[in-house]
């Protein structure tokens, strides 16, 4: 991420996040047991996705600054095969023998 783009990034405000999370969404209200019904319907799909998943960890860095709270992000290198040039949280694949904290 260039210095210029960081300078114009809006600050991240904790009160805004709290308000957003407390605001009801336009989605229909969930009912007790919905999670179980969905999980049962997709059990094989979920199991296959989890088996194929690469263990990974990220750091969500919140930094208190004079002008407000900001979020720490990185820009992925443009030469990478996947997600090149994308903005992401720091972290990545968990290597053998590494724990989530070390990977992040």
Q: What is the mean pLDDT of the chain?
A: 80
The C-alpha atoms of residue 8 and residue 83 are separated, in whole angstroms, by 23
Q: Is residue 59 part of a domain?
A: yes
Range of the domain at 98: 1-21+54-104
Q: Is residue 104 part of a domain?
A: yes
Q: Is residue 8 part of a domain?
A: yes
Domains held by the chain: number: 1
Q: Is the pLDDT of residue 76 over 80?
A: yes
Q: Is residue 85 part of a domain?
A: yes
Predicted pLDDT at 104 = 78
How much is the pTM? 0.49
Predicted pLDDT at 77 = 92
Q: Is residue 36 part of a domain?
A: no
Helix axes 43-52, 34-41, angle to 10 degrees: 70
The tens digit of pLDDT for each residue in 27-67 reads: 667 677 677 777 676 778 878 888 888 889 999 999 999 99
**pLDDT grade for 12, boundaries at 50, 70 and 90:** low
Q: How far is CA 41 from CA 7, 11, 27, 30, 88, in A?
A: 47, 41, 20, 16, 32
Predicted pLDDT at 39 = 67
Q: Is residue 29 part of a domain?
A: no
Q: Is residue 102 part of a domain?
A: yes
């Amino acid at each position: 991420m260039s210095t210029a783009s960081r300078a114009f990034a809006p600050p991240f405000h904790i009160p805004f996040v709290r308000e957003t999370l407390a605001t009801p969404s336009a989605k229909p209200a969930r009912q007790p047991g919905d999670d179980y019904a969905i999980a049962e319907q997709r059990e094989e799909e979920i199991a296959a996705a989890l088996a194929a998943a690469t263990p990974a960890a990220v750091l969500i860095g919140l930094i208190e600054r004079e002008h407000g709270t900001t979020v720490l992000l990185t820009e992925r290198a443009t030469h990478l095969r996947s997600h090149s040039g994308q903005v992401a949280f720091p972290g990545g694949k968990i290597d053998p023998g590494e724990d989530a904290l070390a990977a992040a």
